[in-house]
């Protein structure tokens, strides 16, 4: 699960990591009111930032520094009425419904600091760079040696000496060292305590030297967290941060019916039982020159309702020009699925070709059930095996696609 920047900054603040004061708003008027409040409290500049589950906002024009009420109004109006398009969004961009209005800070240097799981090393890893900010992807590509990686012990976590070495390697000096070490240790603890899969601060900044802080202050001005869905049950305050508006609508509907669904770019809808079978179904479609429109695993105990919903979701994708139903009856009985297909097809109404491949428990009965319902399923094609099914569905999709 992903959360918004303002929520991530809230978690950082609770963990004792300094972040600028700010608040989330959902209207232009509230943005202006919050900006005015920050100006009145002494900020000379305020930053208005679009809250969506994608990065690259700065370059897209959705992070704006403003120094007056009218500039704040213009920035908020622009962000709430334009779609944000960045390399991290779909091509049509994302609608912005929430803004973060925060006190802007002066920046002397920008760093990158993150913790994620290094699957190759089987451990959590702290990643840091002195070249943080909006170009971090380019840094990773151009000069990977500028990115430091520190593997974390599974039980001991980040050790203070590791954090200190890293702080020096990044070029921190004087009082900043203690500040950044504190931030690293707190972030590492927060990562483990919240069952996060990613905790990223980019940029972590140093402010220019000022009165009372001659070395500058280290703080986080952008943060991103992902969490392990399977651990959310034990983090109520995090699962409550879920924002359905940021999710793919079809994926959300699928989740509510216990279906695993991932939307893809192709034109062949897939309805499969079992994740492994769903993967191999996608492979064999590709092998025959087709492109899957989705990954969909109805699971081992799909009900009529779940199968109906699965068809509804698949067919609500306008790109779908043919559907492949691939069921291997183990625990799931093929005849049960066949009846569910008929019930669902009647309710949803099939106009595109549907190729069905069934194998396993009660398959003979299933074939008989499907055969009897041919008149109700005029676009149904029964395949003899998976190879045959893949060939037939790819042919059907390319004919429909013209
Ligand atoms: P992202 O582009 O989605 O990662 O959004 P960020 O919140 O990281 O902002 C992008 C860039 O805007 C940062 O790397 C900073 O250079 C700049 N920026 C953001 N907030 C401030 C601020 O308060 N003061 C200044 N001077 N620059 C800021
Ligand atoms: Mn950023």
pLDDT of residue 283: 97
Burial grade of 256 (CB within 10 A; 0-12, 13-18, 19 or more): exposed
Q: What is the pLDDT averaged over residues 118-124?
A: 94
Q: Catalogue the active-site residues.
A: 112, 200
Nearest to 71 by CA among 106, 28, 41: 28
Question: Contact, 330 vs 363, CB < 8 A?
Answer: no
Q: Model confidence at 350, in pLDDT bands (50, 70, 90)?
A: confident
Nearest ligand to the CA of 200 is 2
State the DSSP string of 276-291: HHHHHHHHHHHHTT--
What SS3 class is residue 96? coil
**Alpha carbon of 291 to ligand 2 centroid (Å):** 34
Strands 322-329 and 268-272: parallel
Nearest to 187 by CA among 158, 161, 164: 158
What SS3 class is residue 389? helix
The CB of 200 under 6 Å from ligand 1? The reply is no
Nearest ligand to the CA of 5 is 1
The CB of 104 under 6 Å from ligand 1? The reply is yes
Chain centre to alpha carbon of residue 65: 27
Residue with CA at minimum distance from ligand 1 atom 2: 58
Residue with CA at minimum distance from ligand 1 atom 10: 58
pLDDT of residue 402: 55
The CB of 49 under 6 Å from ligand 1? The reply is yes
Residue with CA at minimum distance from ligand 1 atom 11: 58
| Tokens 């779940």, residue located | 306
pLDDT of residue 401: 62
Residues less than 5 Å from ion ligand 2, measured at CB: 202, 222
- How confident is the prediction for the chain on average, in pLDDT? 93
Report the run of H or E that residue 308 belongs to, with start and end.
Answer: helix 304-315
Per DSSP, what are the bridge partners of residue 153? 157
pLDDT at residue 79 is higher than 90 = yes
Ligand 1 atom, smallest distance to 55 CA: 3
Ligand 1 atom, smallest distance to 58 CA: 2
State the DSSP string of 319-346: T--EEEEEEEESSS-HHHHHHHHHHHHH
Ligand 1 atom, smallest distance to 60 CA: 2
Nearest ligand to the CA of 132 is 1
Question: Contact, 300 vs 331, CB < 8 A?
Answer: yes
Ligand 1 atom, smallest distance to 107 CA: 26
Nearest to 182 by CA among 220, 210, 215, 154: 220
Q: What is the pLDDT averaged over residues 305-311?
A: 88
**Alpha carbon of 133 to ligand 2 centroid (Å):** 6
The CB of 250 under 6 Å from ligand 1? The reply is no
pLDDT of residue 117: 96
Distance CA 182, CA 186 (A): 6
What SS3 class is residue 164? helix
Task: Look at the alpha carbons of 308, 309, 312, 315 in this order and tell me if their dihedral is positive or negative.
Answer: negative
**Alpha carbon of 207 to ligand 1 centroid (Å):** 13
**Tokens for 324?**
């492949």
Lowest mean pLDDT among 25-29, 126-130, 165-169, 381-385: 381-385
Q: What is the DSSP letter of 303?
A: -
pLDDT at residue 266 is higher than 70 = yes
**Tokens for 154?**
């599974």
Question: Contact, 144 vs 113, CB < 8 A?
Answer: no
pLDDT of residue 400: 62
The length of the chain is 402
pLDDT at residue 300 is higher than 90 = no
Distance CA 7, CA 13 (A): 10
State the DSSP string of 10-78: HHHHHTT-----EEEESSHHHHHHHHHHHHHTT-S-EEEEEE-S-S-HHHHT-EEEE-SHHHHHHHHHH
Residue with CA at minimum distance from ligand 1 atom 7: 222
pLDDT tens per residue across span 141-153? 999 999 999 999 9
pLDDT tens per residue across span 211-249? 888 889 999 999 999 999 999 999 999 999 999 998 888
Distance CA 393, CA 376 (A): 20
Chain centre to alpha carbon of residue 172: 33
Report the run of H or E that residue 393 belongs to, with start and end.
Answer: helix 386-401
**Alpha carbon of 5 to ligand 1 centroid (Å):** 12
What SS3 class is residue 1? coil
pLDDT tens per residue across span 368-392? 999 998 888 889 999 999 999 999 9
């Amino acid at each position: 699960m992903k959360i918004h920047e303002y929520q991530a900054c809230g978690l950082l603040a609770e963990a004792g990591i300094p972040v600028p004061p700010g608040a989330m708003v959902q209207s232009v008027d509230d943005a202006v009111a919050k900006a005015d409040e920050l100006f009145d409290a002494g900020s000379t500049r305020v930053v208005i930032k679009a809250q969506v589950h994608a990065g690259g906002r700065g370059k897209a024009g959705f992070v704006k520094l403003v120094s007056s009420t009218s500039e704040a109004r213009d920035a908020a109006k622009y962000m709430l009425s334009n779609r944000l398009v960045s390399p991290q969004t779909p091509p049509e961009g994302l609608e912005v419904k929430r803004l973060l209005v925060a006190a802007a800070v002066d920046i002397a240097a920008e760093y990158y600091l993150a913790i994620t799981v290094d699957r190759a090393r089987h451990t959590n890893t702290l990643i840091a760079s002195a070249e943080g900010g909006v170009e971090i992807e380019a840094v990773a590509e151009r000069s990977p040696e500028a990115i430091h990686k520190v593997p974390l012990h599974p039980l001991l976590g980040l050790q203070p000496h590791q954090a200190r070495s890293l702080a020096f390697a990044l070029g921190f000096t004087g009082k900043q060292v203690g500040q950044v070490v504190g931030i690293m240790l707190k972030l590492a603890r927060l990562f483990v305590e919240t069952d996060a899969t990613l905790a990223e601060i980019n940029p972590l900044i140093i402010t220019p030297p000022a009165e009372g802080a001659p070395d500058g202050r280290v703080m986080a001005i952008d943060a991103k967290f992902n969490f392990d869905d399977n651990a959310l049950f034990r983090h109520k305050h995090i699962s409550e941060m879920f924002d359905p508006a940021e999710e793919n609508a079809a994926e959300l509907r699928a989740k509510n019916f216990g279906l695993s669904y991932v939307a893809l770019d192709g034109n062949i809808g897939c309805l499969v039982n079992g994740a492994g079978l769903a993967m191999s179904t996608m492979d064999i479609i590709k092998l025959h020159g087709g492109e899957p429109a989705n990954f969909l695993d109805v699971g081992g105990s799909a009900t009529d309702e779940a199968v109906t919903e699965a068809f509804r979701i698949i067919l609500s994708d306008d790109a779908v020009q043919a559907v492949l139903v691939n069921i291997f009856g183990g625990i799931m009985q093929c005849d049960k699925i066949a009846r569910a297909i008929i019930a669902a097809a009647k309710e949803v109404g099939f106009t595109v070709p549907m190729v069905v491949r069934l194998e396993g428990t009660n398959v003979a009965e299933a074939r008989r059930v499907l055969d009897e319902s041919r008149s109700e399923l005029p676009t149904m094609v029964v395949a003899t095996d998976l190879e045959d099914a893949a060939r037939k569905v790819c042919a059907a999709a390319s004919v429909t696609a013209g």
